[in-house]
Amino acid sequence: MQTIKWGALAVALLLLGIRLADGSSVTAMVNTDDTPIMQWPDLLDQPRPAVDRTLAYGDDPLQVIDLWLPKGKGPHPVVVMIHGGCWQTDIATRDIMNYIAADLRNDGIAVWNVEYRGVDRAGGGYPGTYQDIGAAADLLANQAKPLNLDLATTIAIGHSAGGHLALWLAARPALAEGEPLRGNHPLRIDAAISQAGIADLRAAMARDGHACGTDAPKAMAGDAFALTSPPEMPVSTAQQIQFHTDRDKIAPVEYARAYAAAMERRGVTVETNVHGPEGHVELIAPASRSWAAQKARIKQLLGRT
C-alpha cells in the first residue's frame, strides 16, 4: 500500500489528491511549519458556549441531547453530533463538543448533540450505548417538525469513539428488520463524518498500549460485530467521510486508511481527508484547519456553499 509522505517540497499549504494502491481516496492538506499541536486544556480552558435547550430521550440523567438552535424562523438544517472519550463517561461528556456546535449554530446549522451512557456506567456498552444513540436519533425524527428542523439532508458527525458511533448510526437502518438495535423507524443518515474515528472494534480490541485500552471496545462489541462494528455491519446507503490529522497519536491516519481499505473491499468508497500539522484536539477546535475543512464539507453536503 502506498503511504502518504509529508514531503519537504511542500513549503506552503498544498492540497494533494492521493489515490492509494487499494483504491481508496485521500485528500491531504500538508504543511511543514512547526506549529505545536493543541492539548486538551488549550480547548477546554476556553469559555464554553451555552446551549439553547436540553431534551431527554430516557430516564437516566445521561439520556439527553443538547439542541443548538440558530437564530431565525428556519426550518434549520441539523447535524447529529456524538462526542468521544473512549466510550467512557468519566473521560468525556457532550460539552467538549460545545465549541464546534456553537460554530455551526452561528452559521445557521442546528446541532443535536447527544449524550449517552458510557461503558463505565450502568447500562452502557453493548447493547445500552447503542440503544441510547438510536433513541436520541429517533427523538430527532419525532421532534423535527415541532422544532422546525429540516431533515432533507441529515448528517451525523462524531469525534474519536464518537466517530465509531456516527458510522454505526449511519449503518443502523441497514440492520435486519426486527433487530432491536435497528428499531422500527430508524433515522435516515445521508452522510456520516468520522473525526479521527475508531471505527473497527475488532481491531481496537487488539491494540495493546492504546489510550482507550482493550476493555472498552470489547464492551462495545459484545461479540456481536455484525451489529456494532461498521466494517462488519450491513452496508447502508449513507455517504462516509473521514477527517484525520497527521500528528494524531490517539487515532492516527493508519486507522482511516485501514477502514477505507476494508470498505473498499466491500464496494464502498470512503472519502478520507488528512490535515496538518494538527492532532486529535484540533478536530473539534473551531479555529483549526481541520475544522474549517469539516465545516465547509458539511455546508457543501447541505447545499449551503
| Grid-cell match 498500549, residue found | 209
Contact 22, 1 (CB under 8 A): yes
What are 220's three cell numbers?
Answer: 462495545
Helix (H, G, I), strand (E, B) or coil at 37: coil
CA distance 140 to 129: 17
Ramachandran bin of 292, using left for φ above 0, alpha for ψ from -120 to 50, beta for the remaining angles: alpha
CA distance 76 to 72: 9
Contact 96, 284 (CB under 8 A): yes
pLDDT of residue 31: 45
Mind listing the pLDDT tens digit for each residue in 132-182?
999 999 999 999 999 999 999 999 999 999 999 999 999 999 999 999 999
Mind listing the pLDDT tens digit for each residue in 9-66?
222 222 222 223 233 344 444 444 567 999 999 999 999 999 999 999 999 999 999 9
Helical segments of 72-149, H only = 98-106, 128-143
| Grid-cell match 428499531, residue found | 183
> What domains lie within the chain, and their CATH numbers?
38-301 (3.40.50.1820)
Write the DSSP symbol of residue 268. Answer: -
Is the pLDDT higher at 160 or at 2? 160
What are 282's three cell numbers?
Answer: 484540533
Q: Is the pTM of this model over 0.95?
A: no
CA distance 169 to 83: 13
Mind listing the pLDDT tens digit for each residue in 223-262?
999 999 999 999 999 999 999 999 999 999 999 999 999 9
User: What DSSP letter does each residue of 187-210 carry, written as one string?
Assistant: PP-SEEEEES----HHHHTT-TT-
